[in-house]
Amino acid sequence: MNIQINKYDANFTAGGILLNEFLALKNILLDDDDVEIQLRNEMEQNNVIGISTKTARQRVILEIIRRVNQVPKSFWSFFYGLNLLEQKQALFYLCLKAYPLIFDLHFEVAVKKYKTSGTITDYDVQMRLDEIASMHDNVAEWTDKTFKKLNSQYRTALKDAGLLKNNKLIKSTVQSNLFWNYFKENKDQWFLKACFIEN
């Protein structure tokens, strides 16, 4: 029996870039032992992540595992050596890698809008979500509440990453060649376009 995996899911509603959570998990993510096992233990024990309800903690940690699985182990020593703005943009990069829906929204809405009007609104994002729903039956089944949450979470992630202010899209202000070279060297040059650095 073939199991169909939907390209688009709504799991990004579990949280935006999750900066505080990733900072709290530093010792686990830098550990040489099995990170996923330690993260699953954290669901039960709540030693460092600081999310009081178990249900919310499980949901967030499952999304953290999803993102962690997108990058090599060496990403984390790179990440924890960055300044705060660079860390936020690196976490936005993880979101784009882990969630095809967010990647689609970003490149079909924000990147295109940056080249034209330079602004993005909730209406712009909703229009693209409507287009996606018209092409994917599983997306069409989502509730209005889910669409609104995704729309809001995506724009909040842009703000948190320093790429959006008052609906105005902003080119990344990160100056470090070391930062940008990481993505070039790992065949993720597209991230420079995502941060409005390259066309």
Task: Tell me the pLDDT tens digit for each residue of 11-46.
Answer: 998 889 999 999 999 999 999 789 999 999 999 999
Between helices 84-98 and 144-160, what is the axis angle to 10°? 150
Claim to verify: residue 39 and residue 137 sit in the same structural domain: no
- What angle is formed at CA 68 by the lines to CA 61 and CA 32, rounded to 5 degrees? 100
What percent of the chain clears pLDDT 90, i.e. is strictly above it? 89
Determine the structural domain holding residue 161 and report its residue range: 83-199
Do the beta carbons of residue 96 and residue 67 sit within 8 Å? Answer: no
Claim to verify: residue 128 and residue 169 sit in the same structural domain: yes
Q: Give the total number of structural domains in the chain.
A: 2
198/139 Cα distance (integer angstroms)? 31
Taking Cα atoms as reference points, which of 43, 136, 150, 146 lies closest to residue 95?
150
**What are the angstrom distances between the C-alpha of 155 and each of 81, 99, 141?**
26, 15, 22
76/26 Cα distance (integer angstroms)? 8
Claim to verify: residue 36 and residue 61 sit in the same structural domain: yes
Claim to verify: residue 51 and residue 144 sit in the same structural domain: no
Residue 6 confidence (pLDDT)? 58
User: pTM of the entire structure?
Assistant: 0.94
23/19 Cα distance (integer angstroms)? 6
